[in-house]
Structure 1
Amino acid sequence: MARRNKIYEGKAKILYEGPEPGTLVQYFKDDATAFNAEKRDVIDGKGALNNRLSEYFMTGLNNVGVPTHFLKRLNMREQLVRACEIIPLEVIVRNYAAGSLSTRLGIEEGTQLPRPIVEYCYKDDKLGDPLVTEEHIAAFGWASQQDMDDILSLALRVNDFMSGVMFGVGIRLVDFKIEVGRVYDGDFQRLVVADEISPDSCRLWDLETGRKLDKDVFRRDLGNLTDAYAEVARRLGVMPKGTTPMSKPTLIN
């Protein structure tokens, strides 16, 4: 097997050079990190679950006309994606108060917000991904005003889709974050949802019990992270019902 050219390695994924120009292979690791990587562990099966769940969400978004970088799943841990120029922002959409919003503003966790709130963080691990405003984004040239209008539209469309999908399986979409990339076709540029959408990048609570089904399980030591992610996969039909995840979960091909 030929050695692949590694393009980038992050906390949860590795990007390799793709088989065709303009493509990348995105590999999902089992690594789990929190608090800007101050807490870390390796969780067996996490990467495979996130690969399949991100495939599910990205495919659904593509099908409803929300463009993403996702092309196809290659195997249990890898997917083929379009190469894109990542805008250095984390785009966060909040439907309920939780996490840093509750801490910053003193709002009780779980409080429903009057409308979805969109926030932006500058992607820089060394700085702890600080919260920034549109003024910062414009001043430092990270994105144009047209880009910001398109990013806001993308984020809210993702929120509408994800909220509906999760509500249908008894899960509340509390908040989530996405990354956005630029794809070029000649002189024409368009923005797409990039990176991943998975329980790593969302807060997901059971509608009836409030049980957390996302990375807060790891952050707050609330139980087995693979069990939580597998429950999301089962409800969405990505994982067969009745399957008990062991070190490596059983997923539908």
Structure 2
Amino acid sequence: MARRKKIYEGKAKTLYEGPEPGTIVQYFKDDATAFNAEKRAVIEGKGVLNNLLSEYFMTGLNNIGVPTHFLKRLNMREQLVRSCEIIPLEVVVRNYAAGSMSKRLGVEEGMQLPRPIIEYYYKDDALGDPLVTEEHIAAFGWASQQDMDDILSLALRVNDFLSGVMFGVGIKLVDFKIEIGRVYEGDFQRLVVADEISPDSCRLWDIETGQKLDKDVFRRDLGSLTDAYTEVARRLGVMPKTSTPIGKPTLIN
């Protein structure tokens, strides 16, 4: 079997050249990082859960006409996606105050915002992914005004979809992060939701108890991250309700 060509390795995923031109294989790792990778660990089963959950969300978005780069899941850790040019921005949609917003503005964590607030962060690990404005984006040519209009529309549509899906299983969508890619079709381009959508990139709180079911469990040492992610997967029907958290495979003699 031919060895696949690695294109890029990030904190949570590794990208390989796909089987056909214009495709990429996205491999989900078990690595967990926080605070710009100052805190890190390997958590068994995390990559499998994120692969399954991202497939669920991306498929749902595709089905309602929100374009994504997702094509299909290949196995428990890999999915096939369209190759796209990633716009160097993290697009964060906030429905409730939490995390860096609460620290920056002195706002109580958990306060519902009067409307969804969209923030943009420049993707640069060395700089700590700084918050930027639309003026910065225009001045440095990271995206055109038409791109920004399309990104805003995509972000709000993703928010509507995710909020509804999560509310239906008793989970509050506090905030989430997406990345946007450019796909070229001849002389035309269109924007698609790229990267992943998983508990790694969302803040998810149980509506009744406030229990955190996202990466804050790892950031704040609140318990088992795989238990939290497994609970989200069970509620969404991605995993059977009686299943146990995913770990290493067991060899049977």
TM-score by length of 1: 0.97
Alignment of 1:150-169 (within 5 A): 150-169=150-169
SS at match of 2:208: coil
Write out per-residue CA displacement over residues 4-61 of structure 1, whole angstroms, 9 at most, x where no aligned residue.
0000000000000000000000000000000000000000000000000000000000
CA contact (8 A) 2:12 2:29 kept: yes
Identity over aligned residues, as a percent?
88
Following the alignment from structure 2 to structure 1, what is the Cα–Cα distance between the partners of residues 35 and 133?
22
Amino acid at match of 1:64: I
Aligned partner letter, 1:226: T
Aligned partner of 2:244 in structure 1 is 244
Distance in 1 of aligned mates of 2:76 and 2:131: 34
AA of the residue aligned to 2:70:
F
SS for the counterpart of 2:52 is helix
2:73 aligned with 1:59, yes or no?
A: no
Asked if the contact 2:172–2:207 (Cα under 8 Å) also holds between the matched residues in 1, the reply is yes
In structure 2, C-alpha distance between the alignment counterparts of 1:245 and 1:153, rounded to whole Å: 36
Counterpart residue number, 2:44: 44
Displacement of 1:245 after TM fit? Answer: 1.4
Return the letter of the residue paired with 1:202: C
Which residue identity lines up with residue 228 of structure 1 in the other structure?
Answer: A
Residues of 1 paired with 2:69 and 2:132: CA distance? 25
2:190 aligned residue: 190
Task: Please state how far the C-alpha of 1:248 moved relative to its aligned partner.
Answer: 4.6
SS of the aligned residue for 1:197 comes to coil
Specify whether residues 246 and 76 from structure 1 end up closer, same or farther in structure 2 by C-alpha distance, changes over 3 A only.
Answer: closer
Q: CA offset at residue 246 of structure 1?
A: 4.9
Counting only pairs closer than 5 Å after superposition, residues 206-217 of structure 1 correspond to structure 2 as 206-217=206-217
Question: Distance in 2 between the 1:48 and 1:54 partners?
Answer: 10
CA RMSD in angstroms, aligned pairs only? 0.8
User: In the alignment, residue 159 of structure 2 is paired with which amino acid?
Assistant: N
List structure 1 runs of 4+ shifted beyond 6 angstroms. Answer: none
Answer yes or no: is the 8 Å Cα contact 2:48–2:246 preserved in 1.
no
When normalised by structure 2's length, the TM-score is: 0.97
2:102 aligns to what SS in structure 1? Answer: helix
Q: 1:246 to 1:81 in 2, by over 3 A?
A: closer
2:219 maps to: 219
